[in-house]
Amino acid sequence: MGKLNGTFAMMAVLALSGACTETPEPYEEAPLTETTPAPDRGFVEEVVTASNKEIEVSQLAAERAASADVKAYAEMLINDHREANERLDAVTSQLQLSVAPEQEQISEAREELIDLTGAEFDRAYIDMMVSGHEDVVSTVEDKINGSGNPQVQQWASETLPTLRQHLQRAREIQDSMGGD
C-alpha cells in the first residue's frame, strides 16, 4: 500500500508543478488544434499575433520614445492589449482552444524599430501602429459581421471600440508629427 501512496504522491507533485507555472508575457500557448473551426482558429491566431506584436514594440516605445505623447500611447497600448489578451484567453480556454502568436512577425516588427532613435523612432512606431490598427480593426469588424463562435464574436464586439480608440489616437499623434 505504501508503494501505491507514493505513486499517488508523485502524481500529485507532478500535477501541481504544472499548475504553478505562469504564462509568460506576452501571451503564449500551443498552436490551435485541428478540430478548431478554421475561421475562429485563423482569427484568434491573427489577433493574438497582432496584439503581442503591439505589446512588444510598445514596450520598446515606452522605453525609447522621444515624445511624451508617444510614450503615453505606448503604455496605454501595453495595458489595453494585455487586458484584451486576458479576456481572449478566457474565451479560448472555455472553447479548449490554444493559440500561439507568430513570433517571426513579432520579431520582424521589433527589428524595424530597434536601430532607430528620437523623432525617427517615434514616427516609425506611430506609423506601424496606424497601419497595424487599420488592419486589426478591419479583421475584427469582419469577425463581428461574419460567422463563427458566438463567444469569439462577442470578444470581438467588446474589443472593437478600444481598437478604434487606439487607431484614432495613433492618427492624432501621426498628424501632430506632420504625418501621412
21: left (phi > 0), else alpha (psi -120 to 50), else beta? beta
Per-residue pLDDT of the chain (180 residues; tens, 9 = 90+): 444 333 333 333 333 333 333 333 443 433 444 455 556 888 999 999 999 999 999 999 999 999 999 999 999 999 999 999 999 999 988 888 887 778 898 899 999 999 999 999 999 999 999 999 999 999 999 999 987 889 999 999 999 999 999 999 999 999 999 855
Nine-digit cell string for 40: 475562429
All domains of the chain in start order, with CATH: 2-176 (1.20.1260.10)
Residue 14 CA: distances (Å) to CA of 1, 3, 7, 21, 93: 20, 17, 11, 12, 21
This prediction has a pTM of 0.77
Q: Which of 57, 31, 54 is nearest to 42 (CA)?
A: 31
